[in-house]
Amino acid sequence: MREVLMSTSLRKNFRAREKFSRTNFKLRRILQEADNIIKLKFAAPSPIVTASFATAGLRSKFIMSKPKVFVTRPDIPIEAIDLLKERGAWTSWSPMWMCGQGLKDSVVGIVGMGRIGKAVVQRLQPFGVKQFLYFGRSRKADDSEVNAEYVTLDQLLMQSDFVIVTCALTKETNKMFGSEAFKKMKRTAIFVNTSRGDLVDQDALVDALKYKRIAAAGLDVMTPEPLPSNHELLSLNNCAILPHIGSATVRTRTDMALLTAHNILAGLEGNPMPAEVC
């Protein structure tokens, strides 16, 4: 029996049903996993073949813009303007009203200098950042191309005005940002996480924000998702939260769907998949 788990848009775009009915392969399962790795199982006349492909590459083109939003004003909630209108707090201008940290002459630390990390650096460079630091499993051979310096995690935390997390979630990185990490950061530092919620000990983050051990945080990811409406993070005025919408543009989501369909059809026909990872 054929099992096809596809969105309506994929079936419309590629007439997938007709393709599936003409192939000797049977698609048995599509499993969406973390970091947009999709696993397929094809049942053929021969033993079942498993293949994986990724759509994450497309997301980096848009996700890289999210840290830019957070580093400019994470201390003002996204709904701030609506609240100002409702409460009538928007009156006359004053020099320091709603002022936040600026990127000019700042030190930005990137934890995880992969595809997304590099894209973040490239997008922030025009804002006059004085220095980019990065930490990862190893030094990148091309780090000079993005003018970033490889340092230890402790050095990055102590020196950075903005700490931006773009690394993968692994056993080693799980809860890597806990109370000790936040204590090492500047009290004026802004913490940004657009990667995975479990990279952060959220209780420790709440304490760091509540007791001003760091200045502010901007989160596109958290644990769990959706975050309960009574979660303490949502009550803090120095924490901006987005509902995991790092890839939320029509173009990006459409491209991800089309790449998924291309990979599925290539796998069914026994051809190399455009974005196969293993």
Is residue 113 within 8 Å of residue 56, measured between CB atoms? no
- Computed over its alpha carbons, how large is the radius of gyration of the chain? 22
**∠ Cα 274 59 167 (to 5°):** 105
Is residue 20 within 8 Å of residue 6, measured between CB atoms? no
In terms of phi and psi (left: phi > 0; alpha: psi -120 to 50; beta: otherwise), the region of 270 is left
Active-site residue list: 244
Distance of CA 89 to the CA centre of its chain: 33
* Cα–Cα nearest to 55, from 271, 272, 278, 258: 258
How far is residue 64's CA from residue 120's CA, in Å, rounded to a whole number? 5
